[in-house]
Amino acid sequence: MGRKRRDLMKSKPNAAVRPAEYYAERQQAYANGGRPKRPYGQGTLRSTKIMERAWSEYCQFRGWDTVTQLATGVPGIYISFFDWYCDQYAVSRVTIRNYWQSLCRMYRLQTDSGMPKATLHEIGEAISAKGSLTKDHQLSVMPKEKPVISVDDFWDMLSCLWQTDDCPFIIERMRVQFHLYELIAAYTGSRPGALLSLHYKDCKLSLLPDLEPHGRPIFVLEITFRHTKNDKGASSPNTFLFHSNPHLALCPVTFFIATAFADGAFAAPDLKTPAQIYSLEIEEGLQQMFIPWKESINDTAVFRAAGYSCSGWQLSTNPLSHRILCRFKGNASKAARWEESLTTYSLRRATANAVSNLTTTALRNQIMGHENARTYEKYYANLRIQCDVQNAFLGIPSNDRLLAVASRVGRSTDPRRPVAFEEGWWEEIFQESSSLRDLNDAKVALRASCISLFGSMWQAADAEHQGSPNEDLQKAGQAAIRALTDDALVGHDPPGTYAPYQGLHARYEDTRRRLKNLRHCLRREWTEKKQRDFNKSTPIDDIQRQLNGLPSTVSLESNVSMCTTSRRSNLATQLFCKDFNVVETSLDVARRVRALTDLIAYCGIQEPRSTARKVVKTNNSRCKTKELISDGSSVNGKEDHSQIDINDTKGDWQATHSLENHAHLSESSTPMILGPTTCLHCLFNPSYVSYRWEKSRLCRKDALQRHAKSKHFAFITDDEPVLCPHELCVDQRFDDLDHFKNHALAVHRIAY
């Protein structure tokens, strides 16, 4: 029997032949504590890092060693830590419970063993709803209502994504793929991690015959999610099927085909236009036509992040991160003017509630990836009772329409609600925030001291850099400066080993960094404060206005920024048009082909962003301008020009050759001589389209040199030939960067 069983075992080809000593060493390493540790996801590791910083801060405050105190397993140490944390930060009971799980994970990683059961029980009792920690700090025990968006809310959010300017994207390809992400997330209810890890090899596009006689074949998209969540590490793939939808804005097949064309994903070399793909038919005698991808793109992520290259912002090969996705979600909620901001799980929760009444519990668990029904009941069920209990008790029909309207997230839409920080709030913030005033005064004083001693800021930086040739000592000095308090940055002269490397300019740079971080925090805090004040005071003001017979201010004070780009506006009209035929006809196919063509072309552009500034402060860079302090006073009797109009900083070329002089030039009539402050790479960037002249002009020669060095030349390697972006010089190749700079100066008059 044993021999037969050995014969059935399949031998591994090219099996590794290792000596017995190798396995003995592995056994000894495992016995000495080298056990394989459980792999954690990025989100889990990120929360653990946050807990590590908080624990290190507390141990430093108590004068403890972080490793020793963590490994003790004494409940009193952990309870005192959470007491300190609740005194420092505004948290809820659920947050403390999650932090306790992170602390237990840190203990497991440190000691290779779990937290003692007695400690787990005691801390669990302390952070329970009636525990001592919850009562002492009055932690919130009420669960926050999680919004469940409806189909109408989803439609409004998608329309705001295209019809307003409140959802900016670095490149417009990101807008198209975010729309596709929202559609797939809504239809599948999948977790963000499963969607972001989607590759082309997980997607299958094919043509299936229509059930109606003489009907056209139907495009079917099959997506298999292979990276699903599972406690034991093994994924259980699910496959979802999508088909064409008469509403183009709700059709994932249309957006996926546009994305595939933009990536050049089709394996058929002659399949290049939407009209060709809609002309395909199923071969006679077959039941489907499979449309394959290129082998080189199978491992490419469908949802990718944007990256900067020599040609400007483009779609990179890296998958889209969860952090950027959350930012897109927040911007979409702000554009819709909703009171509550959506999260990455909002659509998943909506899908779970939508399929709950239409499917069995087993099928719902399979769709959502839940182990049992308890997960849905505890975390996904809508807290709003979806039943008209009043009419049910009275024995009359339920008012389902009223229930649907009352459950909408969009019922809180108010175009007057502030969604972004307004620069007019700075005056009020400056009056209330003493930290902002102190840091600003410290920055002004340190800048004045640097200029009075060295003559300019860049000379002060050079003097300190020459005095600190040791890079390790310089980094240590910068770390010591970061540990100083805000008051010590101005008058404190740090003694010790790192004193030569902690000069005025280093303290000035750290003060500017702290001021920037403080301004960022204040912008967020005051935006949330203004929104809370608006939600509290606006209903009272509206009631008083109606009682006094005053007109409404909804239309007068609207903050909605409508779409100002004609190309996107025309595309939005096609996507959200409701005048169509449900049955696919030749007119409907032409409508889809036209929309697909515009979508593919739209993926390759970059819209201008409203970042123009009328007044620009002088930059502390190496330029032939006067170095001045920022508080309005002069230095060494020189006149103050701390604020300079950007129109006054143009060079001689821009004074005689304004942008309007080139407005009539097309892509094929770009002159060879462009001027010393024109960036060739930005001028011929296909993403900039009609505003390429405005994008390629810089104010000064030194600004052009800094821009080209950081944005274009930094991506050119030494062994890579340099190409000239000009349309008339496409055949010229240069051996190195210096050769290209000489060509740009001699032929195009550009001083790189």
Pair 316, 307: CB distance under 8 Å: yes
Please state the rounded mean pLDDT for residues 335-351: 87
Look at residues 147, 307, 167 and name the one whose alpha carbon lies nearest to residue 607.
167
Map residue 487 onto helix, strand or coil.
coil
pLDDT band at 511 (very low <50, low <70, confident <90, very high): confident
Residue 487 vs residue 367, higher pLDDT:
367
Note the pLDDT of residue 300.
93
pLDDT band at 122 (very low <50, low <70, confident <90, very high): very high
Please state the rounded mean pLDDT for residues 23-52: 77
Collect all residues with Cβ–Cβ distance below 8 Å to 221 and sequence separation of at least 6: 203, 204, 205, 241, 242, 243, 252, 253, 256
Task: Output the CA–CA distances (angstroms, integers) from residue 626 to 113, 178, 499, 640, in the order listed.
Answer: 64, 46, 30, 9
- By the 10 Å C-beta count (0-12 exposed, 13-18 middle, 19+ buried), 682 is classed as buried
Note the pLDDT of residue 468.
53
Note the pLDDT of residue 267.
93
pLDDT 10s digits, 595-626: 999 999 888 887 766 543 333 333 333 333 22
User: Does residue 137 surpass a pLDDT of 80?
Assistant: yes
pLDDT 10s digits, 673-719: 777 778 887 777 766 655 556 566 666 777 787 778 777 877 777 66
Please state the rounded mean pLDDT for residues 453-482: 69
- By the 10 Å C-beta count (0-12 exposed, 13-18 middle, 19+ buried), 324 is classed as middle
Note the pLDDT of residue 17.
72
Taking all residues of the chain, what is their mean pLDDT, rounded to a whole number?
A: 79
pLDDT band at 357 (very low <50, low <70, confident <90, very high): confident
- By the 10 Å C-beta count (0-12 exposed, 13-18 middle, 19+ buried), 735 is classed as exposed
Note the pLDDT of residue 722.
83
pLDDT 10s digits, 423-458: 889 989 999 988 888 888 888 888 888 888 888 887
Whole-angstrom Cα distance, residue 245 to residue 423?
44
Tokens found for residue 576: 């959200």
* Amino acid letter for position 221: L
pLDDT band at 79 (very low <50, low <70, confident <90, very high): very high
Q: Which of 244-258, 380-394, 448-462 has the largest mean confidence?
A: 244-258
pLDDT band at 402 (very low <50, low <70, confident <90, very high): confident
- By the 10 Å C-beta count (0-12 exposed, 13-18 middle, 19+ buried), 595 is classed as buried
Pair 100, 123: CB distance under 8 Å: yes
Choose the weakest-confidence range: 31-35, 511-515, 586-590, 730-734.
31-35
Please state the rounded mean pLDDT for residues 346-352: 90
Whole-angstrom Cα distance, residue 713 to residue 335?
37
Q: Spell out the domain ranges in the chain.
A: 42-136, 151-342, 419-546+612-648, 650-747
pLDDT band at 668 (very low <50, low <70, confident <90, very high): very low
Please state the rounded mean pLDDT for residues 102-113: 87
Please state the rounded mean pLDDT for residues 15-27: 81
Please state the rounded mean pLDDT for residues 331-352: 87
What stretch of H or E contains 737? helix 737-747
Note the pLDDT of residue 158.
92
CATH class of the domain comprising 151-342:
mainly alpha
